[in-house]
């Protein structure tokens, strides 16, 4: 396999992949390219502070008390101005829905824990826990089985 990157500020951006047959890698590349919006951060608000939150440092985005909240790698909570469904279209493909009101950065999930009630929790690197719905867990399982 060959890889070639040409950086030309005057040319239109274009990505071309020539492959023998589609594979999981080509699907991942396509998902990444199609989901890339050009921005790699969003603005978060806490008290009197406004901060750029890089997508990689966000553990999850959830709805708490009817507000959209981003939780970062240190466990800090930032309020966001966008709706969850609008963010789903902007975020990279490594953000996955784990329940009706939460999008999780799959790179920041440490593990999935079974809980006493029979459900499953996602445990993030910062220590935050969020339940995973059965429907979303089934989709996550299928996603990992393809890898």
pLDDT in tens, 82-93: 999 889 888 888
Say if pTM beats, i.e. exceeds, 0.85: no
- Whole-number pLDDT of residue 73: 93
CATH number listed for the domain at residues 38-146:
2.40.50.1020
Three-state SS at 21? coil
Domain ranges within the chain, ordered by starting residue: 38-146
pLDDT of residue 89: 81
- The owner of tokens 């909570």 is 77
Per-residue pLDDT tens over the stretch 122-145: 999 999 999 999 999 998 888 888
Which pLDDT value is given to residue 71?
96
CB-CB contact of 31 with 93 (8 Å): yes
């Amino acid at each position: 396999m060959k890889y070639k990157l040409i950086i030309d500020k005057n040319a239109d951006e274009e990505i071309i992949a020539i492959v023998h047959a589609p594979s999981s890698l080509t699907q991942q590349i396509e998902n990444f390219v199609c989901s890339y919006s050009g921005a790699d951060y969003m603005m978060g608000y806490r008290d009197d502070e406004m901060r750029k939150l890089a997508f990689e440092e966000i553990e999850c985005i959830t709805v708490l008390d009817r507000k959209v909240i981003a939780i970062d790698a240190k466990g800090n909570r930032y309020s966001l101005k966008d709706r969850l469904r609008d963010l789903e279209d902007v975020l990279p493909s490594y953000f996955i829905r784990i329940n009706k009101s939460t999008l999780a950065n799959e790179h920041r999930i440490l593990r999935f824990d079974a809980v006493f009630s029979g459900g499953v929790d996602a445990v993030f690197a910062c220590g935050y826990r969020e339940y995973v719905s059965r429907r979303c867990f089934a989709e996550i399982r299928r996603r990992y089985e393809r890898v």
